Amino acid sequence: MSKLLLSFDFEDWHQLVHRSMGQADWDSRGRALERQTAAIFELLDELGAKATFFVLGLTAERYPDLVQAIAAKGHDLACHGYDHRRVPSQAKEEFRADVEHCAELVGRLAGKRPVGYRAPAFSITRETPWAYEVLAELGFRYDSSQYDSPRIPQRIRGMPRTPYRLELDEGREIWEYPVTVWPVRGRPLPMGGGAYWRALPTSVLRRALKEVTADNSHPVLYFHPYELDPQPLRATLSESPTPRQRALAAWKSVQRNPGRRLVADRIRAIARDYTLTSYEEAHGEVVERYGARPRSLSREGVVV
């Protein structure tokens, strides 16, 4: 059975949305992420799957117990930076400090320093090829920030579709795991996660993955905790609701979150055809398969 690498950008949607709205209590702890994490664990246990969690530092600080629970379950813990700022909005030294802050926090909670990184909004771009040198200097061994999506401005050119070894200065290297795109009429359709998994029917996702896995033994999928929330928006009920009111409230909840409820089911359906696994579990096979052909990144941000 072919493999798919399953990843989560582990961040608290409410924390980030409330911050962007300028709310005074944006950084307070809420119940949603606990519920979402429980739903992820339940799904992964049901499927017997391992995953890689790219943890946001801000979120790790507020929910240290959840980060420890991920580690206790045996999943990979990796970094999503601390502050969730796009890489090109940071100077090189700011980027270094942001990533180190996250690595230190996650390492302390997990008892093991993370070796994987994913940039917020897949934002290691042609403007910031130096990011890989910084990551390697900080001890990172793999990255998963490349996504050939038209929604990412100034994205790196010439990215291979499979994982590859990126040679850096002074004999250093880092492995890149690009997020899955599906070539349709010669153009990449970024179907590695997000809105595509809420919008595309399972049959289309199946077909896409069948074509993708013909050339790539380890395609990457990415999701967020909020996409697996079993109860994202609930109608408020009175203290003693009638069965009809209860049914109506439940219906409203289903009605308002159709795409989100489908994501878990689609992951379940795909898991019948593929083994879902984590980057670190698969890394040995990836090195064996793709290690022979190293690449490098030009100063203009082109993979050669």
Contact set with Zn ion (CB under 5 A): 9, 11, 120
Closest to Zn ion by CB, 12 or 165: 12
Amino acid (1-letter code) at residue 294: P
156 DSSP assignment: P
Compute the least distance from the CB of residue 123 to Zn ion, in Å: 10
Closest to Zn ion by CB, 116 or 120: 120
Compute the least distance from the CB of residue 80 to Zn ion, in Å: 6
Closest to Zn ion by CB, 11 or 280: 11
Closest to Zn ion by CB, 120 or 225: 120
Cα 75 from chain centre: 13
Give the C-alpha separation, 148 to 65, whole Å: 34
CA distances to 120, 194, 260, 276 from 9, in Å: 9, 11, 16, 16
Residue for token digits 């042609």?
126
Closest to Zn ion by CB, 53 or 142: 53
Closest to Zn ion by CB, 57 or 120: 120
Backbone angles phi, psi at 175, to 5 degrees: -90, 135
Closest to Zn ion by CB, 120 or 219: 120
Closest to Zn ion by CB, 119 or 303: 119
Compute the least distance from the CB of residue 184 to Zn ion, in Å: 26
Residue 166, beta-bridge partner list: 174, 295
Compute the least distance from the CB of residue 99 to Zn ion, in Å: 14
Alpha-helix runs per DSSP H in the chain? 13-20, 32-47, 57-62, 64-72, 92-110, 131-137, 195-199, 202-215, 243-256, 258-270, 279-290
9 DSSP assignment: E
**Spatial CA neighbour of 177 closest among 136, 153, 205, 145:** 145
Closest to Zn ion by CB, 57 or 129: 57
Cα 303 from chain centre: 22
Contact between 295 and 303 (Cβ < 8 Å) = yes
Give the C-alpha separation, 45 to 70, whole Å: 12
Compute the least distance from the CB of residue 243 to Zn ion, in Å: 40
Which single residue brings its beta carbon nearest to Zn ion?
Answer: 9
Listed in sequence order, the residues at least 6 apart from 201 whose beta carbon sits closer than 8 Å to its beta carbon are none
Listed in sequence order, the residues at least 6 apart from 222 whose beta carbon sits closer than 8 Å to its beta carbon are 7, 8, 9, 118, 144, 179, 192, 193, 194
Compute the least distance from the CB of residue 128 to Zn ion, in Å: 17
Compute the least distance from the CB of residue 237 to Zn ion, in Å: 33
Compute the least distance from the CB of residue 58 to Zn ion, in Å: 10
Compute the least distance from the CB of residue 59 to Zn ion, in Å: 9
